[in-house]
Amino acid sequence: MGLFSKLKNECIDIIEWPDQSGDVLVHRFDRNGNEIKNGAKLIVREGQKAVFVNEGKIADSFIPGTYSLETKNMPILRTLMSWPYGFTSPFKAEVYFIKTTEQLDRKWGTQNPVMMRDPDFGTVRLRARGNYSYKIGATSEMISKFVGATPEFRCEDLEGQLRTKLVSSFSDCVAEFKIPALDLAANYNEIGQSMCSMMKGAFSSFGLDLLTFTIENITLPEEVEKAMDERASMGAVGNLTDYAKFQTAKAVREAASNESGNSSGIVGMMLGAKIGETTGQIFSAAASAAPPPLPRKQGTLFYVAINSQQAGPFSREEIKLKIGTGEITRETLFWSDGMSDWKKALEITEIAAMFSSLPPPIQPHS
């Protein structure tokens, strides 16, 4: 029993933290109830900082180096413990080692979609992810708020709260920028820099310094991405009328290539041409977006092919007279404004009707 008590009350002469775990931010040195020997060696490695705490109050701190713990280099602790100058007895104090290196590639992301108003697609739902980095800044804030009696404080103990604040601020940031969904990818850097500035105060309240904030990807709903792809396709097509002509020529060429030397090849070519013509008409109508031509009035004038020469234009009355004199027959070609080509008299309803009111020509007897 006496030996156990003796071992238990031995003074600690070396204080250090080898830092074997990569995700530990703050580590409390375990002295197992023992006192720290006056003159003990304190070893603070690179990327660490040592802080002495007496009865919950932050005392002296030490940057990387090797120190001999004496009252002369611990003025705050000496004051808190009411040590006289030169006091050499062992003392009790908590020693915390704090990792000061940058914590890289910490992940953040939106667990639920973020709503955004878009000028092109209305209200859309965004999902985003990325990474950020930070390091411990205000030591006293970290120890007093989060460490307490905990022997170790890890990244995961803190980053859940940080991610919640990051996602909330991301929603505000995107709303303030008012960037259309089509342009979000081109503004990742600007949004990231704005987020970094916006979140520095929130990180500082946790005793941290936010160093970088990066947006890796912003994902839009599937239907919005499909609409964006369709819009890009329309831009690539360009002039719809020219595109329709190209499709018509392609259809004719493909139909002709299937010709096998019989009538089926010709039919295939004609069918291809008809499909191409219909496609062209549809695209032309969409491109022009103009109403159809007005119907012709009864007073329409006609041009007539008489003796292989164009004549006219003639009114209905004039045409009736020429039918009576025989200048115009049922085979005579007519054309009027709005017609795509010349047509025979019998193919035009209002002209054909003029012949029905006249007796047929007298056939000579043999």
Query: Does 323 reside within a domain?
Result: yes
Q: Are residues 202 and 117 in the same domain?
A: yes
Q: Are residues 193 and 276 in the same domain?
A: no
Query: Does 243 reside within a domain?
Result: yes
Q: What distance in Å separates the CA atoms of residue 249 and residue 269, rounded to the nearest whole number?
A: 11
Structure tokens at 296: 């012709």
Q: Which amino acid, one-letter code, is at 166? A: L
DSSP for 184-226? GGGGHHHHHHHHHHHHHHHHHHTTEEEEEEEEEEEE--HHHHH
Contact 105, 79 (CB under 8 A): no
From first to last of the 366 residues of the chain, give the pLDDT tens digit.
Answer: 444 444 445 688 899 998 767 788 889 998 887 889 888 999 999 999 999 988 878 889 999 999 999 888 888 888 888 877 777 788 888 899 999 999 999 999 988 888 888 888 888 888 999 999 999 886 676 777 766 667 888 888 888 888 888 988 998 888 888 888 888 888 999 999 999 999 999 898 888 999 999 999 998 877 777 776 676 666 656 565 666 666 677 776 776 666 554 444 444 445 454 555 555 565 455 445 555 554 444 567 889 988 888 888 888 888 888 888 888 888 889 988 888 888 888 888 888 888 876 565 566 665
* pTM score of the predicted model: 0.56
Query: Does 175 reside within a domain?
Result: yes
Q: What is the pLDDT of residue 181?
A: 84
Query: Does 56 reside within a domain?
Result: yes
Q: Are residues 122 and 175 in the same domain?
A: yes
Q: Are residues 218 and 319 in the same domain?
A: no
Query: Does 148 reside within a domain?
Result: yes
Looking at the 3D structure of the chain, how many domains does it have? 4
Q: Are residues 251 and 212 in the same domain?
A: no
Q: What is the pLDDT of residue 238?
A: 59
Query: Does 217 reside within a domain?
Result: yes
Q: Are residues 90 and 189 in the same domain?
A: no
Q: Which of 156, 157, 41, 139 is nearest to 99 (CA)?
A: 139
Q: Are residues 92 and 183 in the same domain?
A: no
Q: What is the pLDDT of residue 294?
A: 46
| Full residue range of the structural domain in which residue 144 is found | 103-224
Q: Are residues 186 and 256 in the same domain?
A: no
Query: Does 347 reside within a domain?
Result: yes
Q: Which amino acid, one-letter code, is at 77? A: L
Q: Are residues 82 and 128 in the same domain?
A: no
Q: Which amino acid, one-letter code, is at 184? A: L
115-153 pLDDT, tens digit per residue, is 888 888 888 888 999 999 999 886 676 777 766 667 888
Structure tokens at 174: 């995107």
Q: Are residues 57 and 166 in the same domain?
A: no
Contact 13, 41 (CB under 8 A): yes
